[in-house]
Structures are given as structure tokens and as C-alpha cells.
């Protein structure tokens, strides 16, 4: 399989035929694919080292039999979207911003997705009447300063549909920021063309794109060019990363990813502790591991390369920072990046 074929792998049989999994795994892969959506774009298939049974890109996209092992702690809605959805397509968890879930499809389906019970082929997106109601809700809440386009992945939509949504949001005076969360610039960089970039720009509003990337190999030359098209057009970019066992849970890999993002003019924003999504225990690390990784980055990589380590509290209570603390409990000493403590006046 190579990117020139232009074919996204959408079934267990296609994954096996592309030599991304052995044929003796076909039955297990089919069982997983019957429950959770599968899609691997040519760009991602080409990155996978078929000779490495533990390839970090494959771990993100190729189904694993352990996905059928469910923990009682896991949930189909691990961050509580439903409890904070006043109308279809809207999640209003924080006072000054809302999620607008335009579509329930993605270019690829990550094996750790926290919305894996809600996204997939045929799930569709917001119908015109539901979109109008969602926009009416935003217009009726003057405290909403920022609208975050999400899904699914909003950049699987056509430039025409995106431009229409951005235009309608731009007409709401109190909305000042439009933020788009997406995997597309790395998993399908060819989609970031001039028409799509134009669609994301809103007159008199600030447009941001937040890229989801988890491993430095994802920042290919084509992915970097896609990011450059956005940044050069005046659309600032941030990045969010999910901490994943066997993918980026060592300082060298995580640091290389953060440097690759900054070199692409994409500012690391969040490092997410993996959510309690069904069948994802094999990909989650412990919080202490994540804190140790953040300590390993501090002082050894540029301040531009430091994301905020956060946990989305189950039940819809929002994100909280869970990074390491360098200040003593009484505020009398501060720890440097080498682990040495220094006295400092608390007042």
C-alpha cells in the first residue's frame, strides 16, 4: 500500500491485505471493526513499519484485540459530553466557550478515541435544522466568546460547507474566536488546499487550528507543508497530543514530537492524559508516568516545547492541569529542572 493509491483502508480485510496485520488476526480484527470504526489513510499507512510488531503509528490506528477488554471504570461518554449538551451538536461545559460538533466522521479512527462510541461511517453530521438550532443557541448566549468546531473531524467537510458555518458564526457579534480541532493536516495533508484555508478565515474574527499529533513521524514533509499553508494564511496553529503507552511515553519521543511541532510553527498546547474510553486500557499510562515525562522535558527542551499536561475529569467537570509541582508545600523552596532545591522567600 502506498499513498499514490489514494485508498483509505476501511475494513479488517483491507488492513490485512495491506500487510498491516497478519492474516491469522483477521477474525479478531473483524470483531473489533464491527464495534468500532476503522479507517487508515494512505499517509498513515505509509508511515507504518510493517517489520515492527510494536510500531507506534500502527498502535494508534490498527485495531488490537485488547479493545474488546472493557473495564468497569471505562465509559462510552468518558468526559460527559451528553450531560452538557443543551441542543443537538452543542456541548457547553465552560461559561465562555462551546463545542460545535459538526460531523461524526473522521479521516482516520484512532484506537484510543474518547468519542469512539459516537463516531464512524454513516453516523452523519448535523442536519440543516439541527445546525440552525445550534447556531441559534450560540447567538442567544452572549457569554460565548469562542466556538470550537469538532466532531468527528470538521475538516472532512467540504470547503463550501465549512465556509458556510464560519460565515454564519461570524455574523454573531459576541463570538470572537473560532477554533478548529483536527487530525487532517497530518493524516490527509492533501485536503489542506487553498479553498479550505480560505473557508477557515473569518472576517474580524480570530481563527485558530489545533492539530492532533502524537508521534514525530507524523510531521512528514507533506504534513509540514499543510501546516505552513494555514500559518502563512494567517491562521495560527496549536497542537494537542494524547499520552499513549508505546507511542510517545518516553522523553526522547515526546521531546522530538514537540520540537517537530515547533519547527512547523505549531505551538504545543495540551498533553492529554488518555481518557477512560472503552477498550483503551492497554494504551493508557499512569499519571505519575506522565508527570515524570513532563519533568524530563522541563529545562532540556525549549519553553516553546512545553505543553500543559491535563486530565479531562470524568463526568464533564472539565480539564485540570496535573503536571508536576516544583514548589514545596510551605512555599519556601523551589526545585530546578535538575532536581535541586533552592530557598525562596514566600512573600
Residue 313's Cβ-side half-sphere holds a number of Cα atoms within 13 Å equal to 8
Summarised one tens digit per residue, pLDDT across range 205-245 is: 999 999 999 999 999 999 999 999 999 999 999 999 999 99
What Cα–Cα distance (Å) separates residue 244 from each residue in 110, 142, 296, 316, 333?
11, 38, 16, 22, 33
Summarised one tens digit per residue, pLDDT across range 76-117 is: 999 999 999 999 999 999 999 999 999 999 999 999 999 998
Q: Could you write out the DSSP letters of every residue in 108-139?
A: S--TT-TTTTT-STT--B--HHHHHHHHHHHH
Summarised one tens digit per residue, pLDDT across range 276-322 is: 999 999 999 999 999 999 999 999 999 999 999 999 999 999 999 99
Tell whether the torsion through CA atoms of 315, 316, 322 and 328 is positive or negative. negative
Beta bridge partners of 210: 181, 238
Question: Does residue 336 surpass a pLDDT of 70?
Answer: yes
Using DSSP's 3-state secondary structure scheme, residue 325 falls into coil
CA–centroid distance for 257 within its chain: 14
Q: In this structure, what C-alpha cell is assigned to residue 3?
A: 499513498
Query: Going along 6-144, which residue ranges are E strands?
Result: 90-94, 97-101
Query: CA–CA separation, 292 vs 219, rounded Å?
Result: 25
Ordered by where they begin, the domains of the chain are 3-68 (no CATH), 82-335 (3.20.20.70)
pLDDT band of 5, cuts 50, 70, 90 = low
Output the pLDDT for position 180.
98
Catalytic residues, which ones? 93-94, 97, 106, 110, 113, 115, 275, 312, 319
Question: Does residue 4 surpass a pLDDT of 60?
Answer: no
Question: Does residue 2 surpass a pLDDT of 60?
Answer: no
Query: CA–CA separation, 128 vs 111, rounded Å?
Result: 30
Using DSSP's 3-state secondary structure scheme, residue 282 falls into helix
Q: In this structure, what C-alpha cell is assigned to residue 330?
A: 510551605
> H/E element holding 320?
strand 318-321
How far is the first Cα of the chain from the last one, in angstroms, to the nearest whole number?
Answer: 63
Question: If phi over 0 gives left and psi between -120 and 50 gives alpha, with beta otherwise, what is residue 24?
Answer: alpha
> H/E element holding 146?
strand 146-150
Cell numbers 452543542 correspond to: 90
State the CB neighbour count (10 A cutoff) for residue 1: 18
Helices 287-297 and 251-263: angle between axes, nearest 10 degrees: 60
Q: In this structure, what C-alpha cell is assigned to residue 137?
A: 443557541
Question: Does residue 346 surpass a pLDDT of 90?
Answer: no
Question: Does residue 3 surpass a pLDDT of 90?
Answer: no
Residue 154: name the closest of 200, 122, 94, 213 by CA: 200
Q: Could you write out the DSSP letters of every residue in 221-250?
A: HHHHHHHHHHHHTT--EEEEEEE-TTTT-S
Question: Does residue 132 surpass a pLDDT of 80?
Answer: yes
Summarised one tens digit per residue, pLDDT across range 157-210 is: 999 999 999 999 999 999 999 999 999 999 999 999 999 999 999 989 999 999
Query: CA–CA separation, 147 vs 131, rounded Å?
Result: 13
CA–centroid distance for 153 within its chain: 9
Amino acid at each position: 500500500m502506498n499513498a499514490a493509491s489514494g485508498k483509505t483502508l476501511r475494513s479488517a480485510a483491507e488492513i490485512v491485505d495491506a500487510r498491516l496485520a497478519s492474516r491469522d488476526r483477521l477474525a479478531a480484527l473483524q470483531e473489533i471493526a464491527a464495534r468500532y470504526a476503522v479507517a487508515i489513510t494512505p499517509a498513515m499507512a505509509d508511515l507504518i513499519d510493517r517489520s515492527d510488531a510494536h510500531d507506534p503509528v500502527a498502535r494508534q490506528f490498527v485495531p488490537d484485540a485488547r479493545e474488546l477488554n472493557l473495564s468497569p471504570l471505562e465509559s462510552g461518554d468518558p468526559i460527559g459530553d451528553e450531560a452538557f449538551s443543551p441542543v443537538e451538536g452543542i456541548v457547553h461545559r465552560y461559561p465562555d466557550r462551546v463545542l460545535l460538533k459538526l460531523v461524526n466522521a473522521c479521516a482516520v479512527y484512532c484506537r484510543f478515541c474518547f468519542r469512539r462510541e459516537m463516531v464512524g461511517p454513516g453516523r452523519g453530521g448535523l442536519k440543516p435544522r439541527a445546525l440552525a438550532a445550534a447556531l441559534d443557541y450560540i447567538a442567544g448566549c452572549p457569554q460565548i466568546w469562542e466556538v470550537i468546531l469538532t466532531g468527528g473531524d470538521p475538516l472532512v467537510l467540504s470547503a463550501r460547507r465549512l465556509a458556510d458555518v464560519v460565515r454564519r458564526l461570524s455574523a454573531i457579534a459576541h463570538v470572537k474566536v473560532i477554533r478548529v480541532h483536527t487530525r487532517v493536516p497530518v493524516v490527509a495533508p492533501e485536503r489542506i488546499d487553498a479553498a479550505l484555508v480560505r473557508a477557515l478565515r473569518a472576517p474580524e474574527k480570530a481563527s485558530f487550528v489545533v492539530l492532533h499529533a502524537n508521534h514525530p513521524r507524523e510531521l512528514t514533509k507533506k504534513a509540514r507543508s499543510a501546516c505552513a499553508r494555514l500559518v502563512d494564511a494567517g491562521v495560527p496553529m496549536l497542537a494537542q497530543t494524547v499520552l499513549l503507552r508505546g507511542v510517545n511515553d518516553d522523553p526522547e519521543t515526546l521531546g522530538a514530537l514537540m520540537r517537530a511541532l515547533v519547527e512547523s510553527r505549531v505551538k504545543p498546547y495540551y498533553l492529554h492524559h488518555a481518557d477512560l474510553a472503552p477498550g483503551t486500557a492497554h494504551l493508557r499510562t499512569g499519571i505519575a508516568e506522565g508527570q515524570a515525562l513532563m519533568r524530563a522535558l522541563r529545562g532540556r527542551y525549549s519553553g516553546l516545547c512545553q505543553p500543559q499536561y491535563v486530565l479531562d475529569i470524568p463526568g464533564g467537570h472539565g480539564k485540570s492541569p496535573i503536571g508536576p509541582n516544583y514548589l514545596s508545600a510551605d512555599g519556601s523552596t523551589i526545585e530546578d529542572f535538575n532536581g535541586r532545591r533552592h530557598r525562596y522567600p514566600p512573600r
